[in-house]
Structure 1
Amino acid sequence: MTESIEIRPEFAEALEVGAWDRVEELWLEALETKPIPTAELFEVRRLAWKAGRKNLARTLLELLAESLEEGSDPAEALAALRELVRLASPHPPSELTERMINAFSRERSGSPSLEGVLEKYPMLKARRPYEELEAAECWLDRDLGSVVEVVGQGVGRVVGLNLQLENIKVDLGGSRPVSIPFGAARRHLRPLPEGDFRRRKVETPEKLADLVENEPGTALTEILESLGEPSGVSAIKAALEGLLPPAKWNSWWTKARKNPRVLSSGSGSRLRYTVSHSAESADEALLAELRTAPPSGRLAIARRLADRGRETAAAAATILEDSLASLEASEPGVAWQTAGILAALPGGSDAAQSSRQRLVQTDAPLALLAGISDRSARSEALAAVFESSPDGWPEVWAEWLLHEEGTALLEEITAKLEANGHAELVDQAMEAVFRNHANHPAQFVWACETMSEDDCPQAIRSRMTPSVLEKIPDAITRKEFSSIRGRAKGLLDGGKVAIRLLMESANARQAARFSQRIARLDSVEPQRQRLVEQAAQHQHRDPTTDDRPILAASKAAVEAKQEELRTLLEVDIPKTLKGINAAAAEGDLRENFEYHMLRDRQELQSARAAKIQEELTQVRILEPGAADVSAVNIGTVIHLEDENGNTLEPITIMGAWDADLDRRIFANGSDLAQRMLGRVPGDEVEIDDGSATVTRIEPWKG
């Protein structure tokens, strides 16, 4: 026992002066108490050994072991006997080792694999039996039926234990158990104690689901206690998987984190949650943290204190108010945000309002805006500039347009300037953005995203020229764009600016150059590279060589395809990649069927996503009632009569996405549709049941 444990003053005094007879006397008295203070006696034994009284320490430990063996807790007896065996190694007396084995057998009497483990680790024959004991305990801690955490993969039940092959299998709810070599068990298989939230999720899921639904705050504290370390939202969500429907997460989380025992620290991706012993201790800890935190660090702490009761919130308000005067001079942006939080705290409204009035009257509004990290607080500051400076606000807003990185605020600034007759200021700002896009990465990517929207401002629309194709590769590769690289690559998706420019206005040289540059970028996904290549070729393909059927579809069918694409990119492919990583962690990939199966599935999903993206760039939306009915066309309903003059069920010709044979809706590329396209009333046409005559053509009406 190496951890220092508090001992009674009588023991401490006797040890300090070396009164060993007194130590032995106190030890014997302790053995008569119920329960025996085992932890304290272990510490006394350690101190005696440290003082050089090794024989006495062994004797005292032997007395403790004998007393514990007579008791009802074999775990404590085993701890004492283990220490005696360790001190006597190598080659401890066989009688002592036998006693240790008996205590171990009593402690683990309910373990299914006890007999096999004892056979595998013959402690009586070992030079250091306590090492064999540790290995045996490692097995039985993960015995059949045990609930364990497979690090990085989840929680499940042990369903297989092979002592000969030294392998443990855990059922995580997948198609087959996860296999873990025994040598990796200590690192990768963590036994979960009784009462642990994640263990109860396996043992009593229905009862735990009721707790999660009816007592969110209690459930959250139990999750955090189970995790045992500061944890992010992703870890909490993982613990709730299968207990809480994803659609209910937001409302559940709003309720759960209001539990006064829950503490948070950090911000953004580093935000972590812990649980305190009581609500009062949590409040005291947060107020102490608020007093010592740097000005910008106080903001998140103060927000948390706002919901922890009126008295605590009022104490936080006093701390914030005392800091405002110095902040206004040194960090105006932080002062603005501090005032915003103070306004919501008891007694803080007047001081907050006065502070913001002083700040907005400053001669350096851009410095104020630059120091405000919170987007909603910046929006409030911009609104305050608008109200307080009727003549000067347009120039401030237009200049801030070159510094703002938030998409919503960029849209707000542009719309407000245009609505108030200052479109020329937007145009000047966009000229600066497109002249030197690397100096304004967020504005450039946002403008490129906006170009493909119907309500795009004219100052941006006018810059949708092939010259943009020269800049987009920079947005994907240059370090200035690193934080928004994912959005930059999104400019290559179907219907976005790059594809539209390739399809609508780029010449052959521009299209080929852009396609070649994208093909050389390893960071661009293969499906996006293929889409760019196809779009670059599409504009310059000889129409006489393209015999593919026209891709036409109803608006509903297009929306269904867009939803399918979204599901592939945001749900299915990420889920498959997660499975690939989990399968790869099992080891040898050559014979890992699950790994190769998932790789094949991922390739198919990626190919499917690329195909849909390509088709979405080519599809022509069919408007109900708009088809030319002078002849059979896509989007028409054809009425027919057979050779005997009997009216047949009408046939509708639509695109492949709308085809439904049960409703007699045929794709324009089908054999029947190909035979009918171009026919006029009175023409004879071959159908599946023989010949028929076209009697009337009507537009499809949806």
Structure 2
Amino acid sequence: MSLPILVAQENWQAFDDAWIALMNGEEALDELLPALLVAGEKKRIARCVPLVRQHAELLELAERNADGAALLGTALTAGAPQAEFAAKLTELALAAWGEELWWEEAVELTGLTAPGNDPRQSWKAFGRLRALDTGAVVYHAGGWGTGEVTATGEGQVTVRFHTGMQDRFPLSAALDIFEVLPESDLRALHFRDSAALKKRIKKEPLEVLRAILERYHGRVSLISVKNALAQVGLEGSGWSAWWRRVKKLAEDSEWFRLAGSGQRMELRLLLEAADPCEQLQRQLKALTTLEQVLERCRSVLNGRQEPALIELALEALEAGAAEEDEPLAWRMAAWLAIRSARGETPEALAERLALISADTGSGDAAPGDTAPGDAAPGDAAPGDAAPGDAAPGDAGAPHPAWRAMAALPTLRDQEAALDLLPEVFGEDWLLRAGRQLRYAPPGMLRPLVERLLADDQQALLGALYVELLSRPQRAPHLLVTLARLAEDDRLEGDYPPAPRRAQSLVSLAARLWKERRENPHSARSLGRLVEFLTAGRDSRLEAMLADAEPETLRSIQLQVQQGIDESIDNIITSVIFHSDLNVSDARDRGFWEGDEVWTTRGGMERFNAELRELRDEKIPANEDAIGAAAALGDLSENAEWEMALQEKRNLTTRLASMEADALRARLLEDASLPADQVCPGTAVSYRDLDSSEENRIVILGPWDTDLNEEIVSYRAPLAQGLLGLSTGDQCRVDLPGGSHDLEVLAIEVVDVQ
């Protein structure tokens, strides 16, 4: 072990033994001199004085005058008494270097032999002057960085810096502004061969960490490690990735000890190898949360560790997960780690799953209590399978276990929870989970979809893709996954036309673009979606828009103008530019003028409820009535039979109409509302020019009008007359009570969510 580290850790007996062994040999003083400086920093140089005196005498007898002067000069610098060593220092220095050509100039610059000068400062300056020799690597902290001394003489030093710049400095100035680096210093290694050092940092990270620790005498803060690597070009994300790796390696090494957390972490280089189990116990005891314990134990469980260490980590996880005051998400993550290591579900986790499954009140999850970025359980699209529905994409109310799995802290935890689904859903777990796939958390989506594909559930996934295209913001991460499969013909389904699919995916991309900074899941899904739509010379998006109508292109153009990834923006611009269609003609048409039915989320939920009532209650009741009427006999004069048949025709016609509307339904929150223009999703204040009466209406969808009297459907005559107008515009509106001349006073976008 190096002498500076022995002193830093105050292992004085070992230090003295090593020093005495050094005296009796002819080794260099490379480790002893910095050790004396560390002793000075610790205010313990006084205990070293006897050995300094003895060693200096031996060096003088051996005519190692330079080493003797270095020993005494360093001891003085560390705080040894001047009265005892100053004169001897001058004597040995003169004997060692007095014949050198540079001696007189050095003495004059440093004042080494001048009476009354401080020998400590003189020796420091003399040492730096001697080190400023041709070929030495120096560091300028003021901004020039690392350089090499290329020439000395005539009281000047020439330095070539890493930038290629070369300059000359007076010796007196060079002594103050340059730090001479040992060849083992990372900054010197970076200057000599940056590519070799970069490779070493990557392949030998612990050796690099050891070099930094030895530079700081065996104890260093994390900030100092970061700064040391920043000086050799490892910064930002590169530093973060390197430190994550090295932290795990150092925690598992018997030669390093980490204490504290975050930026206040301190690292120590140990004098002797520590017992791995004792070290792990010490580390775990210092951690204050289950999150921290789980992070440390995962590095043990994922590495090739001894069985005793693995068992110790599992015991720590079991103890932490048993604490009721720890967040449930982290307790479940700990149980999952235990399950993965032991190969069986912990009893506590099994009990928790049983409680979650028995919590029938959780079936109607509150908005916002869902997987990040995915749908609220009650948020069903028209024709979707909401609670009580049996559409292909669902199987009733969302199982409450989805909420618990969505709360797991990392994507890795969510993926690991996939193995719990058989315990949650039972024997036919895969099909049941597939029907509720929209509620699965992001980390579980891709592996679950892969299992469904392997189980030949392409039709189920295809139906879900069609369903989500009409609601692109309902389950965005799932839609991205399904889009890649469906557009590669790996799913089965009757899809909407390609331009409409493209419009839905662009709408999703616009939303993910807005969320990318706040939500890492959205950023990840955005990257996958952009790559899917834009990759290649002939992009998928361009192909999907080949037969788009002007109205569709105009609607997409409005979405893009709200902000979107540049690659998508460029493709849309190119498609519109090269299109033979006159998109500018569509500019005068509003998004509401197509065959879509625009509505709010609440209106869509009420429509779904009415559709389910019609399909699941009224039509079955009518069939029962027909059967009862048939049982009366003589159908030719059976009034009940005729009434039941007429009711059936009315109900089936109504069902067909509602199902058609369901396929065309769109959420207003997905629309790109034009600025300062009356459209669905705006509140309009207007004045009747004949009576001077002022009124305010909120224009929403046809399924929203029962919310309050102020809301008017955009299909109503009053709204139809105002749509497309701007503030200050006037119009004549034909209403049942007669014609009215109106003036738009103000337009305000309302919250349509």
TM-score between the two structures when normalised by the length of structure 2: 0.44
Larger gyration radius, structure 1 or structure 2: 2
